[in-house]
Amino acid sequence: MISIFLKLYLIFCLFSCSNSTNSNSKVPMMLDGDLFNSIETSKSVKVKDGEGFFSALLRLDLSPKQALVIINKLRDRVELSGVKPDEKIVLRFKNSELFEVKYFKNLLQTHQLMLKRGIWVYSLIQKEPIVEHEIVKGTLRENSTLIGDLTRLGVEEGAASEVVNALMCKINFRHQARAGDNFKVLLKLLKINGEVISTRPVYINYRGELSGEFETYYYTDKSSSTYSAHYLENGQALIRSGLRYPLKKMHIRSHFGHRIHPVTGKRAFHRGVDLRGRVGDPVYSVASGKVISSGFNKYAGKTLAILHRDKTISHYYHLSKRYVKKGDWVKINQRIASVGSTGRVTGAHLHFGFQNKSGKWINPMSKRMIATPKLSGARLLEMKKQTRKIKQTLFLVENDLVNNFLLVNLNKNEDVGYLF
Ligand SMILES: [Zn+2]
């Protein structure tokens, strides 16, 4: 009895699963000169989490051999290892023979293979979004926040927090923002079929009595997206990237500042925080940088120090093992060492310290911003070029001089790759 139910349940599952992932449709079609109806069918599938292009094709009932033919035709044109969940693949068949493959990479790009006289022909179908600009400006209201005021003015929440994140590198909102401060944002909207598919603040102006005035410009780097960000006109990046933690789990055993030393019992200044950890636990670099010392002394034990791009230095003490040496470049979150109990300690832990660019010891827990690169050379020149363009657009939009012709020309050939 139970087994019958189980079987029924399994059959139901198979049926509903295949229904939810594949959609089949049959469209009978009359071809000129054909005596018989040629039956056209299509099948589609959405890439699942963690699935590759090959297995997605197999779910469309292609044989492994057929799937490989398709992959070999596409792989020079599109990075198939970059397949993402929810991307759509559509196959079309004529009398059960596959004749078209469409891979919908995103809203703007579709890769197509068509069988023409026995040969697969590739084409990229590209939709051009319409670019529009919009200025949003206002005054910070009493008991309000900049995010609140921007969204109240109709700015989409993601774009509003992008504005705040860029400004936070320069303005301490808690202490420096006041009702009556002025803000102005130039938004770049990309639209397809009248629908906004992306909103990006490309110019931000904030002016307040306590904060001073800041103007930022969005720069799109053609070769490396890590540089695409909001900048001051002089090329200083406004990237707010929180520090990564040096340990997987952060539990502070002893805080920064004055304390009674656990070994000597004397009152002393603690130049960092002690983090709970066991011998062998991995220690990670909290930001990218260069190892400037790998040392040993009887108090701190085995140590590492990393100099970061903003000239601050992070310190790691009492290590058991080190995996980098002096002069090495390390990436953010790279494993650099193991927790230990070397030096003068009561037990295994990680002492984690931070020096600001003038050498003063600061509380590592309150350090927030670390990677603020400044553009130079060709990048700075390109950024200045883009800044001029943004200023032009701002002028046109602000003075209501925009007509479609001007805008189309301003934004021609612009890279929208950062969208995806
Ligand atoms: Zn310590």
- The amino acid at residue 406 is L
pLDDT of residue 2: 43
Query: In whole angstroms, what is the distance from residue 394 CA to residue 134 CA?
Result: 9
Q: Rounded to the nearest whole angstrom, what is the distance from the C-alpha of residue 242 to the centroid of ligand 1?
A: 22
Q: Rounded to the nearest whole angstrom, what is the distance from the C-alpha of residue 316 to the centroid of ligand 1?
A: 9
Query: In whole angstroms, what is the distance from residue 143 CA to residue 22 CA?
Result: 52
Query: In whole angstroms, what is the distance from residue 35 CA to residue 31 CA?
Result: 8
Token code pair at residue 235:
């090329």
Asked if 28 and 116 sit in the same domain, the reply is yes
Q: Rounded to the nearest whole angstrom, what is the distance from the C-alpha of residue 350 to the centroid of ligand 1?
A: 7
In a domain, 147, yes or no: yes
> Do the Cβ atoms of 89 and 57 come closer than 8 Å?
yes
pLDDT of residue 368: 57
Q: Rounded to the nearest whole angstrom, what is the distance from the C-alpha of residue 274 to the centroid of ligand 1?
A: 5
pLDDT of residue 14: 39
Asked if 122 and 88 sit in the same domain, the reply is yes
Q: Rounded to the nearest whole angstrom, what is the distance from the C-alpha of residue 273 to the centroid of ligand 1?
A: 6
Q: Report phi then psi at 305, rounded to 5.
A: -135, 135
Q: Rounded to the nearest whole angstrom, what is the distance from the C-alpha of residue 342 to the centroid of ligand 1?
A: 12
Q: Rounded to the nearest whole angstrom, what is the distance from the C-alpha of residue 211 to the centroid of ligand 1?
A: 36
pLDDT of residue 353: 95
In a domain, 67, yes or no: yes
Q: Rounded to the nearest whole angstrom, what is the distance from the C-alpha of residue 352 to the centroid of ligand 1?
A: 7
Q: Rounded to the nearest whole angstrom, what is the distance from the C-alpha of residue 371 to the centroid of ligand 1?
A: 25
CATH number at residue 385: 3.10.450.350
Asked if 272 and 337 sit in the same domain, the reply is yes
Kindly report the CA angle at 344 between 330 and 348, in degrees rounded to 5?
60
How many CA atoms lie within 13 Å of 365's alpha carbon, on the beta-carbon side?
Answer: 14
In a domain, 9, yes or no: no
Give residues with Cβ within 8 angstroms of 108, minimum separation 6.
126, 127, 128, 129, 192, 416, 419, 420
Q: Rounded to the nearest whole angstrom, what is the distance from the C-alpha of residue 266 to the centroid of ligand 1?
A: 14
> Do the Cβ atoms of 53 and 68 come closer than 8 Å?
no
Q: Which helix (H) or strand (E) holds 297?
A: strand 289-297
3-state secondary structure of 358: coil
Query: In whole angstroms, what is the distance from residue 68 CA to residue 179 CA?
Result: 62
Asked if 266 and 338 sit in the same domain, the reply is yes
pLDDT of residue 417: 36
Of 111, 126, 141, the residue at which a domain comes to its end is: 126
CB atoms within 10 A of CB 295: 13
Q: Which helix (H) or strand (E) holds 29?
A: strand 23-29
Token code pair at residue 300:
């701190």
Q: What is the mean pLDDT of each run of 10 residues along the chain (420 residues)?
A: 44 38 44 61 91 92 92 85 87 93 88 94 89 93 91 91 87 87 95 86 95 94 76 85 71 81 78 92 91 94 93 95 95 91 92 93 71 78 95 89 52 41
CATH number at residue 315: 2.70.70.10
Q: Rounded to the nearest whole angstrom, what is the distance from the C-alpha of residue 330 to the centroid of ligand 1?
A: 23
- What total of structural domains would you count in the chain? 3
Asked if 270 and 348 sit in the same domain, the reply is yes
Q: Rounded to the nearest whole angstrom, what is the distance from the C-alpha of residue 133 to the centroid of ligand 1?
A: 53
pLDDT of residue 83: 84
Token code pair at residue 339:
């927790």
Q: Rounded to the nearest whole angstrom, what is the distance from the C-alpha of residue 240 to the centroid of ligand 1?
A: 27
Asked if 347 and 413 sit in the same domain, the reply is no
Asked if 215 and 134 sit in the same domain, the reply is yes
Asked if 171 and 220 sit in the same domain, the reply is yes
Tokens 């890590």, residue located: 226
pLDDT of residue 410: 46
CB atoms within 10 A of CB 234: 10
In a domain, 244, yes or no: no
In a domain, 370, yes or no: no
CB atoms within 10 A of CB 307: 16
Of 332, 362, 392, the residue at which a domain comes to its end is: 362
Give residues with Cβ within 8 angstroms of 386, minimum separation 6.
217, 218, 219, 220
Question: Model pTM greater than 0.75?
Answer: no
Question: Helix 404-411 to helix 377-398 angle, to the nearest 10 degrees?
Answer: 170
Asked if 97 and 154 sit in the same domain, the reply is no
Asked if 310 and 269 sit in the same domain, the reply is yes
The alpha-helical segments, DSSP class H, found in 321-366 are none
- Residues with C-beta atoms within 5 A of ion ligand 1: 274, 351
Q: Rounded to the nearest whole angstrom, what is the distance from the C-alpha of residue 271 to the centroid of ligand 1?
A: 7
Q: Rounded to the nearest whole angstrom, what is the distance from the C-alpha of residue 323 to the centroid of ligand 1?
A: 21
Asked if 118 and 190 sit in the same domain, the reply is no
Which domain, by its residues, includes 284?
252-362
Token code pair at residue 307:
């100099």
Give residues with Cβ within 8 angstroms of 399, minimum separation 6.
none
Asked if 35 and 121 sit in the same domain, the reply is yes
Kindly calculate the radius of gyration of the chain based on its CA atoms and give it in whole angstroms.
Answer: 29
Q: Rounded to the nearest whole angstrom, what is the distance from the C-alpha of residue 345 to the centroid of ligand 1?
A: 9
- β-pairing, 130-139 vs 182-192, is antiparallel
In a domain, 183, yes or no: yes
In a domain, 98, yes or no: yes
Q: Rounded to the nearest whole angstrom, what is the distance from the C-alpha of residue 253 to the centroid of ligand 1?
A: 9
In a domain, 245, yes or no: no
Of 109, 126, 143, the residue at which a domain comes to its end is: 126
